[in-house]
Amino acid sequence: MSFVLAHLSDAHIGPLPKPRLRELLGKRLTGYINWQRRNSIHNMDVLGGIIADIHRHAPDHIAMTGDIMNIGLPGEFAAARAWLRTLGEPEHVSFVPGNHDGYVRNILSFIPETFAPWCSHDGDHHASFPFLRVRGEVALIGVSSAIATGPFLASGAIGPAQLVTLEKLLMDCAARGLFRVVMIHHPPWRGGASFGRGLRDAGAFEQLIARCGAELILHGHNHKRIEKRLQGPDGPVLCIGVASASAVPGTPRHRAAWHMFKIERQGNGWHVQARARGFREGSDELSELDPLAL
């Protein structure tokens, strides 16, 4: 039996609801100005094409690693939830928030309220991080790195409490012989993002993976395809970043794409086949991209 997992990230859906003047105080003001510039980068027709292509391939599960929204306006949450519903039933879609989903402190509590069906433990209706959802022989573990930061910052953190639970989940799932997929928005290694944009406790995450291992780590945030390996107890652990699912311009690694992982048991281990699909330069047609280097 094989399990097909689709991965997309950083949808940055638009248009933005019209903000009230008082909603643009503080960090949102710089974010709003920035969004006017980014608006031409994130194309909703392209995003629609990516989703249609994912659905054509009928994956068993879809992982969305954050940044559905832009500047955390209250009006963005309803749109984000409606958009997430277009991916599929929450049973088949998992979501972890990005820095743009937890943009300012006073909206952080909206995340569990809005996204609970996509980020809850099996058998629970409340959002919790890290969450564990087991589908067949695959354990999907969602970690939140969304924290509120000051203007011009896009950093994230897992925090000590999540790290403790994550270690337990990874160990338990290893004992059950499951294929462990960790989903997180920020690249989870030191130097994974530029100054002011990185995961503050990336070193602790690297150490945790070195102790517990994982079979696959998925992230977004850099709007760029990245193939990386972290050190696990029994060898390297695949850590794959995907481009923004709505980005139009940029290098081949930055243009809109999604990744597809076919996971199969092979003897005592696993075989993973990975494909990337998206838009090549100068083409409006979505096509197969160079395979991911595993």
List Cα–Cα distances, 97 to 33, 111, 114, 119, 184, in angstroms: 22, 8, 11, 9, 8
What's the one-letter identity of residue 38? R
Give the nearest distance from C-beta 2 to Fe ion in angstroms.
Answer: 30
Give the nearest distance from C-beta 11 to Fe ion in angstroms.
Answer: 9
Asked, as a colleague might, if the bond just before 90 is cis with ω within 30 of 0, I would say no
Q: Which is nearer to Fe ion, 68 or 237 (CB)?
A: 68
Which residues fall within 8 angstroms of residue 112, CB to CB, at 6 or more apart? 119, 126, 127, 128
Q: Which stretch binds Fe ion (CB under 5 A): 7-15, 173-181, 202-210, 230-238?
A: 7-15
Cβ contact 228:189 at 8 Å: yes
Q: Which residue is nearest to Fe ion (CB)?
A: 67
Q: Which is nearer to Fe ion, 114 or 246 (CB)?
A: 246
Which residues lie across from 261 on neighbouring strands?
5, 274
Q: Which is nearer to Fe ion, 22 or 37 (CB)?
A: 37
Question: Rounded to an integer, what distance in angstroms lies between the CA atom of residue 143 and that of residue 220?
Answer: 13
> Between residue 65 and residue 104, which ones bind Fe ion under the rule CB under 5 A?
67
Give the nearest distance from C-beta 233 to Fe ion in angstroms.
Answer: 31
For residue 20, what are its two tokens?
């009230």
Q: Which is nearer to Fe ion, 67 or 206 (CB)?
A: 67
> Is residue 201 near Fe ion by the rule CB under 5 A?
no
Q: Under rule CB under 5 A, how many of the chain's residues touch Fe ion?
A: 2
Question: Rounded to an integer, what distance in angstroms lies between the CA atom of residue 168 and that of residue 165?
Answer: 5
Q: Which is nearer to Fe ion, 3 or 35 (CB)?
A: 35
> Is residue 10 near Fe ion by the rule CB under 5 A?
yes
Question: Rounded to an integer, what distance in angstroms lies between the CA atom of residue 290 and that of residue 280?
Answer: 10
> Between residue 128 and residue 147, which ones bind Fe ion under the rule CB under 5 A?
none
Give the nearest distance from C-beta 90 to Fe ion in angstroms.
Answer: 22
Q: Which is nearer to Fe ion, 132 or 146 (CB)?
A: 146
Beta carbons within 10 angstroms of residue 186's beta carbon = 33
Q: Which stretch binds Fe ion (CB under 5 A): 8-16, 175-183, 190-198, 201-209?
A: 8-16
> Is residue 23 near Fe ion by the rule CB under 5 A?
no
Cβ contact 69:26 at 8 Å: no
CA 193 to chain centre: 15
Q: Which stretch binds Fe ion (CB under 5 A): 59-67, 89-97, 232-240, 286-294?
A: 59-67
Q: Which is nearer to Fe ion, 23 or 67 (CB)?
A: 67
User: Which positions lie near Fe ion, rule CB under 5 A?
Assistant: 10, 67
